[in-house]
Structure formats: C-alpha cells, structure tokens
Structure 1
C-alpha cells in the first residue's frame, strides 16, 4: 500500500459533510461534539446489517508509535496524528494526504479541537504543544502566526504561580471549544507541591486570555475555608486532565475535577478541599461558578473524576429533566439537574474509617448515591483468581489480602491497604457515552485493585552537576550505567529503548526531568516497584547516565529544525516558529529534587509516599473489564457484558474475562439505530445491542486500539474509524512464567469499517 493513501476501495463523487455544528451527525471535535456523548444519528448501520461491516480503508501511521488520537472530520477532510507525531489532513474523496505538519513532538496525544467561523472562512485546529497553545489553519496546515505571540500562547502564565515553577501546564486531552473560546484543563502532576489545575479560557482567534476558574480557591474565593489558609500557595492538582462537556444551548461547561496532590497523604491539606473531586458547572462565557458537587471529600485514593460528564434527559415521575451524569473511578454514578445541581437520585453522607497516619485527618463521611455501583468495591481473599497463577501463588495472595486492610474509602496506611477499585479502576477517560434523549448512559468499567502501603521518605536532594569536571561526570555516568544494567535494563531494555513492560528512557533530560526519575526510583510508578535502598548519590548517578544533556525545551527546538521530514506533502514542521530558546524558557527550570514549601508555611515535618500498587492485574477474579448500560429513567443497570477476551485466560479454559490492562484506554460510539460500538484490549472492536448488551459483531484489528473511535458519513456511506497502532500485551501471568508476550498482528494505522459499497 502506498504510504500517502489509504484507499482500498474506490470513492464516489464528492459530497460535503453536514455543518460541523450538527454535533450528532459529524465528528468535528474530540469525542464527537460539545456534549461528549459519542452519539450519532447516522442511520445506515443497523442491528440487522452490522454483521456485514468490512474494512473499507486503512491509513497507516508510518511509524512504530502507539497513537491514542481521536480522528476529527470536517468538510470532507479527516485530521489524524501519524508519521512521528505529525498532523495529517486526508482528502476523503481521494484518500490522498492534503498536507502534513511534521514533528509536533509533545502535542496533546488524545486529540485536537476544531473551530470554524460562522461563514466557514476561518477554520482552525487548536492544540497544546508542550506548555503552549497553538493554532493551525485547517486548510493549509500552516501555523497561524496572528494567534497569541507569533503563533503561540505560553500556558505557564495566568496560573497564579511564578511561571518559572510551573512545570506542566497542559494535558494530553484536548480543550473544549465553545463559541469563540477554547477552555483548557491541564496535567500538572501528582507529587507534593505540583502545579495548580486552574481552568482557563482563551480566544480562539487572538489567543487572548479570557477567564480563569480557580480550582484551588484563593483568599476571598468560595471554598477557601475548606483548606489550610496558606494551601493556595503550594497545593497542586485539582485539575481537569480528562474530558469536559458543554451544554451549548445553556452555555454551561461541566468540569470533572481531579484530586489534590499529594494523592495518598494529605496532612498539608486538611479539610474538605474544594474543588477537588468535584463536578463543577461554570458559565462557559465567563468562568463563573454556577454550582458544584464534591464526590470525594479530602481525597486519599486518587479518585479523580475523569470521563466526560454525560448530558442526558431523564423521565422521573412523569417529568422530563435535563440532567448531567458523572461516573467515577470508585464505581459510583452521580446524576444532577443540569441547571440547579440538585441530585436526581438521593445521595447520602455515610461514615467511613478514620486514618491512622500521623497528622492525617480523613474526612469522616463520604457521599454515596442511591444508584447501584457499577464496580466491585471490596476485595477479599475469596476473590483471588484460580487461573493464570500457580496454587502456591494463589495461597500467597489469599494470605496477603486476608492480612491487608480493605474496603471502600479505607485510608492508605503504614500497613498494606487493598483498594478496589484502585487508582486506574472504575471509569476513566473516554469511558462514558450516552443516548442523550433516552436517558441511557453507557460505561466502560475496570475492576483493578491497588495495593497501597505508605512509607516515610525524606525529600530527594540531588546535586546540580553543572560545575563538575569532565572526569567527575564520566565517573558518575559509569557508576550509573552499572546500576542501570543491574536494576533497570530488564524492563526498560539494555539500550534504554523500552520494552513490553517499561517505557523508553531515551528522552530523559529533555522530556523526563530529574525529579520524575528520582520519584520513580524512590517511590515506584505503575508496575515499577520502588527501590528505596538507593541513596541520593546513586539516584544522581543513574540520572547522570540517562541524561541526554539537553534542556527541558530542547525537543521543541529540535523538532523545528529536523531535516528528516516524512514522505508526503509537508507544509511545515515543529509548530509556530520559536524564539531564542533561553528567551522562551524565561527562567524556567526543573527543580533538582523535591520541592520545598514556600517560606512561612507551617508544613508537616514528614512526607509519606506509596506507589500505585498496580503490578497485579490478574490477581482478582474476572471479568476484569465490562461494558454496561444505566437506564436513568428507572435508576437501574439495564445490562452488563464482559469487554474483550484475554488470550491467556482463554487458553486456560475461561471465557468472558475482559482484559486487564493499566488504565482503560478504550472508547465507545452509540448510534440512534440501537448499537453501541466499543474497542477492547484484545485487538477487536465490538458492536453490542443497545437494548440488551448482546454481541452482534466483532471486527478484527491489525493491532491493539487505544483512544476514541470516530464515526462519520461521506458520499452517502457511513464509516467507523478506529485508531489501531498499539502492540497487544497480555501482561503478567505468574512469577513462574514471568512476563507475557507482545503480539503484533500487523502494521498500525487508522482502520475504517463500512458496509459493502453499492455499485
């Protein structure tokens, strides 16, 4: 297949799409449209003919990267991310690339935002690139230099902190466009003293800063009294790193806000901590708070709200109510009147266990809705799986779980605590959809426990080697190389290029800073266990070995100057033209070691840490992942089905298992013809009957799928497009068998399914 075209079947005559403002007939924005329902009124694919779906075309990504990108379609053009992080515009009539904007290293990975003027003369793609907001002309692919300061907006500013201390001001999830505004969240990190997650809006034409909602209240703000009085100076998080939804008719944006940092120990943030873990409704034009509800008080479990709030109309007691439904990691669905914030179903404050940690004060109650939970919320020794582990291992895990503290909202402790759902359990990004007018919400759920155990750690203090001699640096690199070979190479690869279970470390220095490396070594990260026996000097040596020797912003400048452009109609590279690197950095620095509290703050003397405890996906009995439908007219779970089939479990004789895989990076599309399409972690896309959950069709993909699918109509033909470029990893099986294999079924790309073409 030619690299510059995807067409496997001939295209018919051109027919422009309907107006992108018709959000349920087009896919002109991330998640389909403003309301993020992933719902379409396109009617060609039905229950009766879905089994006839076949691959109509495929556009290869042209590299070995795993893309989570949700394609956007407008005016007969599809926009995708491919070819070493390049934005590509594809003509849907010819299958040919119209333009390529190359080397956008650091672009928001999950998607972009589309905007056009009322007369359609101005069409823009808006995206975050590292710590900047930029715009590209959707027709030409070139940066719009009248936007912001010569084509970019510096997102480290307008955060109520010194910009030089704001390390991460963007999110992998794109912003939400409303009228002439783009509303942005961020991913500031989850460590002690990370950046704040204030929500900001910018003019899509000029890049002008328009408004900010302070997610961590400042003195005089509503909610300020729910924190220690100086907390606004140092607390981080309380951010939208997931998906916002907009009620376009009412001009309301709904924010699913995350946890305050540090996630698992909050002695420096005693109180309820508004607006942490809140669903917040704002006036989208001004940022003024209309109402809020806090789903977790003083969060100690990393129970962020992440997935898109679903805007639905429900019928209760003969009255039709416009509502908003927010799904949580902990397995609860909260439903409110969209305008007033009044709960549609009762929510009761119930008591939960106190914390036994020094200085900690867990909030004594938590809100529990009357709706049935969709996730398992406690794990006992009886829940240890009988498959994929040996009898000896099963006995080990049964004993370990029996000794652990467990149950919903049991605070992390110096003793082991098993939380179910864990940090990536329940519903995550991309995992909610709806039939808006029928009051049905669809969710993807993952039952994945976390094993937490807090330990006191001193802040890591690392040297600044800027003044070291060449001999001293060489000696440190040699020591670091030996440590890496002993402790790191098995997972991250002997050449640091990564493996099935460990990411590449080739970008340490330019994209992964010294503090992040130190935290991962000392406290663990995901599957990676902590290495607490490492001294500060050893951590410093490992970092010196890994450091690529360039500044945190070097990747921006290197991308702009790359000469190895991808094949095809490249019109630009690297985004907006960059100023002098030192001028752009503006005094920016990565702090070497843990941050310190601001002067004058009465901070706790000790810091406690735990990893996410996610190294054991197969320990709990299946199903590990499920898809379900809530009928919110009746307040019941209408149906539930396992999502996908684990290969190793099938070999052991088990079916209907789902697939356990880290965070739930999958997505759905709901059709008005009674179908729910969903990707799964087993290399397939499924079509479920929306009425009863029966599997009606299963389509094979060349590789695994991450990110949201898209659906659109062109030339009278309806297409389902899946981003499929992720190797299939079947994970940890047992201590005896070790790490499972990675299965690459083919070359990655964007795969489109359609009914057979009519001649």
Structure 2
C-alpha cells in the first residue's frame, strides 16, 4: 500500500506541477486561472497522500468538484469539451477514491469503505457510460425539415454517362440512378478491384491520389498521381489500355482527373484559328490528361494512342508563352475543362516561393487540333491569344488551379481564381491582381473575355483561394420559374450563391469591417464580403474556452499557444507577431467541391477545420524554407518570409474543440442548413500519428468530393479513416460503410453499365493524406446479382 501511495502521489505531483507552471504562463498571457489553482490543489493533495493522510483524497475530490463547476461554466454540457476537461480528472478521482479507505485505515479512522467504494462504483459506471457514448456521433444538427420521398428515376430517359470530373460540365456530382438506395445499400459488396500499379508516396506535399474516374459507355478512365492514364471495362475492371504520360516535379505530384471530348457531337463555338479543317475520322473520341510538367495530351479513347492531329503528335506544350518555368513552379493537377469544341486549362503555380512566378493565364485550345484559340491573362486585359511581350504572359498573376465549369446556354465558363504569389505578402500586387484575385470569373466561351466577376476576398493575405469547381444549378422558384445559380465554396468556410448570368448575389452578401494590420509596406482592405445569407461552416471566431485536447495537459498547452497569438476572426491579418488564422489555408472547404440533388435542391458540403499559426519573418532573418508544406516559406522578392504551422496540440491533434470535419446538407431554395453530422473517426489516426483503432466519430478533416444519387444517398470517402460511407441524403443518417484497404482522397462516382444495367459505385484508394499507408486500388461496388 505504501508503494501504491508513493506512485499515486508522484502522479498527482507531476500533474499538479504541470498545471502550476503552465497555469502561471497562461495567467501572464491573460488566460484562465483555473489551472494554477487546480495545480496547487493537486500538489497539496499529492503531499498529503504521500504522508498517508486521507485529507489528500478529500482535497482531490474537492478539486474535481471545482473542476466540474468550472467546466460547465465554460462550455455548458457539450460532450467533447467536457471530455477534455473531466475525463482524465475522473480517472484520477477513481484511483483516489479506491485508495481513500486505505488512507483512513492507516490514520486509524473508520475506513467508510461502503459509501466511498459505492461512490467509486458510480463514478466507474459514469466513466464506462461516457466511453460508450463517445462511439456515437456528437455535434449533430438534426434535420430541420422533412424532404419529399426520393423520386423514381424515369426509366425511359437515357442514362447519362459520368462524363466529366464533376459528373458533367455543371459539376453537380449527381447521378439520376436509384438501383442502389437507402433500403438496400447495406447489401453493397465489392464487384471488382483493379490495381493501377502506381502507389503514390507522400503524406501531404508529394504524390497523392485525388482522382475521380470518368465513365463513357463501357469504359472507365482515370489517371494516377504519376500521370498514367488507364482505361478499364466498367463491368469487370479488366484493363483495356494504359498510357504513361510521365512527368515529375519536386512536390505536388497528382492528377485529379481526365476529361472527355466527342468530336462527333460537340457543339462548335469557334473555328480553327488558322482557318484549316480537321479530319473528323482521326480519333474523334478523346481523353485529355494534364501533366505535372505542363503538357496537355490528347489520347484516342478507344486505343489509348496519342491523337495524331492534336498539337505535336497528341501533345501541346503548355510552357509555350509562359517565360521561365522552373521545375515544379507551374503544373497541371486538376482536370481540364472540355467545353463545346475547346479544352481549357489553367494551372497550379507554386505558392510562396517568390514574386514573378509563372503566369496565371487561362488558355483554350481547339480540342481537335490543339491550336490556341484564346487566352485570358489576368494581368493584361489587352491579351486575347498569344502574349504581347517576348517575356510571355504577365507573370505572378492570380491563377486557376482548380476545376472549371461551363453553361452551354449562356455560353459562359466559370473560373475559380487563387491569388498572386506569394500568399502572405501582397504589397507589390497590381490593381489587376487585386481585381481578379480570389474571385469567381465568368468568361465568354468563344472569346475568353470576362463578362462578370465576383470577388470573395479583397486583397487576399491568407491564401483564401476559391478552391473548388463552381457548381451550376437552376434553383426552382415558387412561381414555377428557375433562377440560374452558381455556387462557390471558399476556404473561409463561406458559401457564395450568385446568379450565374449576372454575377449578382442570390443570397445576401454583406461588406463588413475587418481587423487592420500594421506591417509597413502592406495595405489592407477595410472590409470583406461576408456571405451572411448562406450557412457558414467551421469559421467561428475562437476564444480560449474553445481550446481542446485529449487530456487537460495538451488543452493547457493549446490555451497557452492560443493566448500567445493574435486572433480576431476569419480575417485576422498576418503580422510580425504570431497570429492565428481560422480556418487555415487548407479550409474551410477545398478542391472537393459539393454535390447537389436536384430532386430536393439539397447541396452537400464537406469541410475541414484546421487553423494556421503564422507570422512574417524580416528578409534578413529568413533561413531556408521551400514553400512546399508547413514551416518557413521564403517569399523571395518581398521584404518578408513567413512561418506557417498547423494549429495542433503537442499530440498532433487540432487545438480547437471537435468536430474537425463535417458533412452538411443545405437547401438551395431556402438557403438554410438542413442537417449536419461529423464524418470520420480516429480509427486510423491518433495522438502522435499512432493509430487508435477506435471508431470514435469525432469528425475528421475531409479532403475529397461527395457523390449524391436520386435514390437519396450521399457517398464520401475523403476522411482520415479507411472507409467509403453512404448517408441518407434527407436525414444525414449513416446507412452504410465499407472498409477500404487504405484511406482515400478520391471522389466516389457512379454509373449504370450499358451492357448489364447494373449500377456501380467506384472509388480510388491511394491513401489518406496524412497516413503513411498507401495503395493503388480502384474498387467497384454493386448489389449482388
């Protein structure tokens, strides 16, 4: 017993000293006094228990009761915040209570074993009940309205192929299929599995599988992170052909998707620039693949051979007209847009390395010949095709790195822009940089000239790009008419709903004053556009009480870290002092975009909630840094580099309270949140990167798209655990999940086989973003015969 008392006292003493030392630091930063007070009480409790005094146990019990009062005062009865504050203390109290009768006996007093051990049993039951409760979802927003039953698919209508990365040029990620439904989805089984033979090697900035395959007839097409295009049979998964496009870069090795063109049916909106004609018999059906070393390749969809009359034997060099392009500074990672007879590309420009990086120009090439038809240079409105200067298009301009959309009726292409590099210093940006940065730009399909644009962030200092494919949808009105809408989700956690014909807001957007910085040479927008008419997701202004941790110890460290930074909401300006940006540069919402069910007008949005701690570094003090992931970024050509770190605890867990990622349904007719659920568990991740193996649905950061179907299902795989999930699209209830061999950042897609009529769900699985476990899987699911 004496040995046990020494062990218990040592544990309480260590915890108490940690609380006292950390608590004093927190007080000096203007934070809570709780940890210092509780720490002193724990130290005194440890001393008394070491002396075999029962008063030590009583003092711990009083400390626990005080902790309960403090916790409820801070966060009410929210589950995960209370767990962070009370669970470890409850375990400590249980150990103390089991020891308490022995302490009383050692003091020669009545042990009072029955009441004390009875209370300990109640506490133990409460701990067990809390542990069990942790395996059920929390932070759930229950459905706020009842949707109509799923509408049966019109079997007489032709079944649309999944012909583009977002299912179609509107990017809705919706399929009018209902063979697989909420009633039978739990019977889904693996129909076939294929292997690409190319496993992406990375846990973030290197090679990542982020693919959504496309389906045309009986063929499935996809690209690997290393640029190989593969065609599979839709029913068997048997490989038909493959083409190794190749190409490597120092970082960001990925291919999110290929594009498809059928010359026999495509609308023609432009003629060949040189007036020539194209032989329509040469590879009339084509698959376009972008490469990370800036090539655009056209392949015959039937054979996989390069289309001989496109560019130079099937290849267009996208570096032409771009001036100097250092390896990895300009590349294609997102799918090209095939719109009418054009194939349109933007490009990813490396962030934060230096000023004057490659141009952010968007170019349209004739899909048959590869001839350049038009170019939109954000830095020079006089450019219509080739650059007007021997140095090429305007360098360092806002770029379009994500997927684009197209409205054939309006003849408009919708471009989501980023910001001119570098991200965290903008003193040298031009008026045109500021005009088109972090905007949605609608350009004329035939000319590439802007028709309207809407800016989501003014003078962006946060890397708050418009990161996702704009989604086009006709919102039904009460009078039977429709409003042509375009939806743009943002890294800020805001959703912008605009009239896609005019660019005017459909849901209210208000210019609000935002905090101003004081770094010499920088300028700051006095206001920013807040999309108040649509739900905001995961972008609340944090306070100290919002800090979290798996234990009170890492919560204390997160509080110290938070109080040591400046945080004034979404648009906290970066400065020379540490500042917290929330959401961080990953989002909010990112490139996965949204899906829309037109039968209900529900839009499905998945998000991640990761903060970014940053500060500027004077030029003479910048040491190293490559701008690829976290750490120091050089921002050469500016007065400052920058330090960037994810806002994580010492255990590698986000410092703010869960959820860290959710799936939400929003009614586009009412602009209201219908339901929201945490998505993803800690089964395949955990503190210090150690897999917990526990399917606790805390809600994990999501990176990847959703899929919605007319039967009333939403599929998603882009969580940090190894699952493909299906949710009831009307209620948010998880109705099915399937264990994947590794995680996925891919987009689930679906199609009906033209041969068998069977509906398939297909997902690629190359590995979750922060997981070292990698694979090369293409997996198709179907109902049993």
Whether the 8 Å contact between 1:313 and 1:323 is mirrored in structure 2 is yes
**Cα distance 1:275–1:594, how it changes in 2: closer, same or farther (>3 A)?**
closer
Residue 413 of structure 2, aligned match among 245, 253, 272: 253
Distance 2:219 2:674 in 1: 38
Counterpart in 1 of 2:584? Answer: 422
**Cα distance 1:188–1:24, how it changes in 2: closer, same or farther (>3 A)?**
farther
Distance 1:278 1:54 in 2: 42
Does residue 611 of structure 1 match 2:655? no
Counterpart in 2 of 1:71? Answer: 213
Distance 2:504 2:436 in 1: 17
Counterpart in 2 of 1:678? Answer: 716
Whether the 8 Å contact between 1:190 and 1:236 is mirrored in structure 2 is no
Counterpart in 1 of 2:192? Answer: 57
Q: Deviations over 1:377-418 (max 9, x none)?
A: 32222222231xx53332122022123111121110111111
Structure 1 gap ranges (5+): 1-21, 222-230, 461-518, 533-592, 597-603, 731-741
Whether the 8 Å contact between 2:348 and 2:401 is mirrored in structure 1 is yes
Does residue 297 of structure 1 match 2:325? no
Please identify, of 252-261 and 210-219, the stretch whose mean Cα deviation from structure 2 is larger: 210-219
Structure 2 gap ranges (5+): 1-156, 201-207, 266-279, 385-390
Residue 89 of structure 1, aligned match among 231, 242, 253: 231
Q: After the TM superposition, which residues 462-501 of structure 1 pair with which residues of structure 2 at under 5 Å, given as runs?
A: none
Distance 1:458 1:523 in 2: 16
**Cα distance 1:642–1:360, how it changes in 2: closer, same or farther (>3 A)?**
same
Counterpart in 1 of 2:112? Answer: none
Residue 164 of structure 2, aligned match among 11, 14, 29: 29
**Cα distance 1:419–1:729, how it changes in 2: closer, same or farther (>3 A)?**
closer
Distance 1:113 1:52 in 2: 32
Paired residues in the alignment total 578
1:363 to partner: Cα distance: 0.6
Does residue 238 of structure 1 match 2:398? yes
Higher relative contact order (CA 8 A, sep 6+): 1
Counterpart in 2 of 1:264? Answer: 424
**Cα distance 1:80–1:211, how it changes in 2: closer, same or farther (>3 A)?**
same
Counterpart in 1 of 2:681? Answer: 645
Q: Deviations over 1:248-277 (max 9, x none)?
A: 232211111112211111111265801001
Does residue 134 of structure 1 match 2:297? yes
Whether the 8 Å contact between 1:89 and 1:97 is mirrored in structure 2 is yes
Whether the 8 Å contact between 1:526 and 1:614 is mirrored in structure 2 is no
Residue 358 of structure 1, aligned match among 510, 514, 520: 520
Distance 2:177 2:294 in 1: 37
Does residue 143 of structure 1 match 2:306? yes
Q: Deviations over 1:42-63 (max 9, x none)?
A: 1211121111111111112234
Distance 2:606 2:515 in 1: 29
Counterpart in 1 of 2:350? Answer: 189
Does residue 441 of structure 1 match 2:603? yes
TM-score (norm 2): 0.69
TM-score (norm 1): 0.71
Q: Deviations over 1:530-549 (max 9, x none)?
A: 4x9xxxxxxxxxxxxxxxxx
Does residue 116 of structure 1 match 2:262? yes
Does residue 379 of structure 1 match 2:521? no
Distance 1:623 1:326 in 2: 23
Q: After the TM superposition, which residues 308-327 of structure 1 pair with which residues of structure 2 at under 5 Å, given as runs?
A: 308-315=469-476, 318=479, 319-327=481-489
Whether the 8 Å contact between 2:546 and 2:657 is mirrored in structure 1 is yes
Distance 1:379 1:133 in 2: 44
1:729 to partner: Cα distance: 4.8
**Higher Cα Rg: structure 1 or 2?**
2
Whether the 8 Å contact between 1:523 and 1:609 is mirrored in structure 2 is no
Whether the 8 Å contact between 2:343 and 2:366 is mirrored in structure 1 is yes
Please identify, of 632-641 and 103-112, the stretch whose mean Cα deviation from structure 2 is larger: 103-112
Whether the 8 Å contact between 2:664 and 2:677 is mirrored in structure 1 is yes
1:200 to partner: Cα distance: 0.7
Distance 1:262 1:743 in 2: 32
Whether the 8 Å contact between 2:662 and 2:677 is mirrored in structure 1 is yes
**Cα distance 1:83–1:297, how it changes in 2: closer, same or farther (>3 A)?**
closer
Distance 1:377 1:232 in 2: 43
Whether the 8 Å contact between 1:686 and 1:698 is mirrored in structure 2 is yes
1:92 to partner: Cα distance: 3.2
**Cα distance 1:164–1:196, how it changes in 2: closer, same or farther (>3 A)?**
closer
Higher strand share: 1
Q: After the TM superposition, which residues 343-354 of structure 1 pair with which residues of structure 2 at under 5 Å, given as runs?
A: 343-354=505-516
Please identify, of 118-127 and 320-329, the stretch whose mean Cα deviation from structure 2 is larger: 118-127
**Cα distance 1:216–1:610, how it changes in 2: closer, same or farther (>3 A)?**
farther
Distance 2:657 2:236 in 1: 49
Deviating beyond 6 angstroms after TM superposition, the runs of 4 or more aligned structure 1 residues are 231-234
What is the CA RMSD across the aligned residues, in angstroms?
A: 2.9
Q: Deviations over 1:49-93 (max 9, x none)?
A: 111111111112234325222212112111233596532222335
